[in-house]
Amino acid sequence: MNPVYIAGAGMTRFGRSEWSLMQLASVASLAALHHANLGDIPVDGVVVANMGAARMNRQTALGSALVDQLALYPAAAESVENGPASGASAFKVGVQAIASGMADVVLITGVERMRVVNGLEGTDFVSSLSHPEAEYIYGVTLPALAGMFARLFMDKFGVERKHLAMVAIKNHANAAKNPYAHIQQTVTMEGILTLPEAAVNNPPIAEPLHMFDCCPVSDGGASLVLVSETVAAKIGGPKVRVAGIGQATDTHTVHEREDPTDLKSVRIAAGIAFDRAGLTPQDVDVAELHDAFTILEIAESEASGFFPRGEGHKALERGETQLDGTLPINPSGGLKAKGHPVGATGVAQLVELTWQLRGECDARQVKDAKVAYACNFGGFGNNVVASVLQREA
Amino acid sequence: MNPVYIAGAGMTRFGRSEWSLMQLASVASLAALHHANLGDIPVDGVVVANMGAARMNRQTALGSALVDQLALYPAAAESVENGPASGASAFKVGVQAIASGMADVVLITGVERMRVVNGLEGTDFVSSLSHPEAEYIYGVTLPALAGMFARLFMDKFGVERKHLAMVAIKNHANAAKNPYAHIQQTVTMEGILTLPEAAVNNPPIAEPLHMFDCCPVSDGGASLVLVSETVAAKIGGPKVRVAGIGQATDTHTVHEREDPTDLKSVRIAAGIAFDRAGLTPQDVDVAELHDAFTILEIAESEASGFFPRGEGHKALERGETQLDGTLPINPSGGLKAKGHPVGATGVAQLVELTWQLRGECDARQVKDAKVAYACNFGGFGNNVVASVLQREA
Amino acid sequence: MSDNVYGMKCNSCGTVSYPKHAVCPNCRNETFIDVVIGGEGKVLTFTDVYALAIEYETRYLRLAIVELDDGIRVTGQLLDGEPKLGMRVKTVLGTVRQSGETAIQGLQFVSA
Amino acid sequence: MSDNVYGMKCNSCGTVSYPKHAVCPNCRNETFIDVVIGGEGKVLTFTDVYALAIEYETRYLRLAIVELDDGIRVTGQLLDGEPKLGMRVKTVLGTVRQSGETAIQGLQFVSA
Ligand SMILES: [Zn+2]
Ligand SMILES: [Zn+2]
Chains that touch C (3 or more CB pairs under 8 A): A, B
Closest CA to A148 of C39, C98, C74, B60: C74
Mean pLDDT, rounded, of chain A = 97
In the structure, what pLDDT confidence band is assigned to residue B303 with cuts at 50, 70 and 90? very high
pLDDT surpasses 80 at A191: yes
**What is the structure's pLDDT at C54?**
84
In the structure, what pLDDT confidence band is assigned to residue A119 with cuts at 50, 70 and 90? confident
**Displacement of CA A81 from its chain's centroid (Å):** 14
Give domain B4-118+217-235's CATH superfamily: Thiolase/Chalcone synthase (3.40.47.10)
Q: How many CA atoms lie within 13 A of B187 on its CB side?
A: 27
Asked whether B104 and B229 are in contact (CB, 8 A), the reply is no
* Domain coordinates in residue numbering, chain B: 4-118+217-235
Asked whether A76 and A45 are in contact (CB, 8 A), the reply is yes
**What is the structure's pLDDT at C81?**
83
d(CA B387, CA A125): 35
pTM for the full predicted model: 0.98
pLDDT surpasses 50 at C1: no
d(CA A212, CA A161): 11
pLDDT surpasses 80 at A57: yes
Closest CA to B78 of A193, A57, C82, A249: A249
Length of chain C: 112
CA distance D112 to chain A (A): 32
Task: Name the closest ligand to CA D23.
Answer: 2
- In this prediction, residues D8-25 reach a mean pLDDT of 98
D17 alpha carbon – ligand 2 mean position (Å): 9
Closest CA to A53 of A122, A107, A7: A122
> Does the beta-carbon distance from B71 to C21 stay under 8 Å?
yes
Higher-confidence position of B122 and A100:
A100
Say whether residue D27 is in contact with chain A using an 8 A CB cutoff.
Answer: no
Closest CA to B62 of B75, B53, B70: B53
Which residue blocks in chain B are alpha helix, DSSP H? 21-36, 62-70, 86-99, 119-127, 142-157, 161-175, 189, 198-201, 229-235, 264-277, 294-303, 312-317, 334-338, 342-358
In the structure, what pLDDT confidence band is assigned to residue B119 with cuts at 50, 70 and 90? confident
CB neighbours of residue D70 within 10 Å: 12
pLDDT surpasses 90 at C80: no
Asked whether B114 and B56 are in contact (CB, 8 A), the reply is yes
Chains that touch D (3 or more CB pairs under 8 A): A, B
Q: A23 Cβ partners below 8 Å, 6+ apart?
A: D22
- In this prediction, residues D23-27 reach a mean pLDDT of 97
Which residues does residue A187 pair with via DSSP β-bridges, in sequence order? Answer: none
Residues from chain D contacting residue B151 (CB–CB below 8 Å): 45-47, 85
pLDDT surpasses 70 at B357: yes
Residue A208: closest C-alpha in chain C:
C47
d(CA D60, CA A99): 49
Find the helix or strand (DSSP H, E) in which A26 lies.
helix A21-36
Residues from chain D contacting residue B254 (CB–CB below 8 Å): 65, 75
Closest CA to A342 of A194, A39, A125: A125
**Which of C45, C56, C97 has the CB atom closest to A148's CB atom?**
C45
**What is the structure's pLDDT at B1?**
78
A82 alpha carbon – ligand 1 mean position (Å): 28
pLDDT surpasses 70 at A101: yes
**What is the structure's pLDDT at B327?**
98
Find the helix or strand (DSSP H, E) in which B265 lies.
helix B264-277
According to CATH, the topology of domain C38-112 is OB fold (Dihydrolipoamide Acetyltransferase, E2P) (2.40.50)
**Which of D51, D74, D77 has the CB atom closest to B206's CB atom?**
D51
CA distance C13 to chain B (A): 15
**What is the structure's pLDDT at A90?**
98
Q: What angle do CA B76, A252, C109 make, to 5 degrees?
A: 170
* Domain coordinates in residue numbering, chain D: 1-37, 38-112
The backbone torsions φ and ψ at residue A314, rounded to the nearest 5 degrees and listed phi first, read -75, -40
Instruction: Tell whether the torsion through CA atoms of A262, A266, A272 and A277 is positive or negative.
Output: negative
> Does the beta-carbon distance from B121 to D50 stay under 8 Å?
no
Q: With pLDDT > 90 as the criterion, what percentage of chain A qualifies?
A: 97
D28 alpha carbon – ligand 2 mean position (Å): 6
**What is the structure's pLDDT at A142?**
96
Span B315-348, pLDDT tens digits: 999 999 999 999 999 999 999 999 999 999 999 9
pLDDT surpasses 90 at A120: no
pLDDT surpasses 90 at B160: yes
Residues from chain B contacting residue D97 (CB–CB below 8 Å): 137-139
Asked whether A112 and A346 are in contact (CB, 8 A), the reply is no
Which residues does residue B249 pair with via DSSP β-bridges, in sequence order? Answer: B383
Range in A77-91, B288-302, D96-110 with the lowest mean pLDDT: D96-110
pLDDT surpasses 60 at C2: no
> Does the beta-carbon distance from B137 to D65 stay under 8 Å?
no
In the structure, what pLDDT confidence band is assigned to residue D54 with cuts at 50, 70 and 90? confident
Span B224-255, pLDDT tens digits: 999 999 999 999 999 999 999 999 999 999 99
Span B19-62, pLDDT tens digits: 999 999 999 999 999 999 999 999 999 999 999 999 999 999 99
Can chain A be said to touch chain D, i.e. do they have 3 or more Cβ pairs within 8 angstroms? yes
In the structure, what pLDDT confidence band is assigned to residue D2 with cuts at 50, 70 and 90? low
Span A215-242, pLDDT tens digits: 999 999 999 999 999 999 999 999 999 9
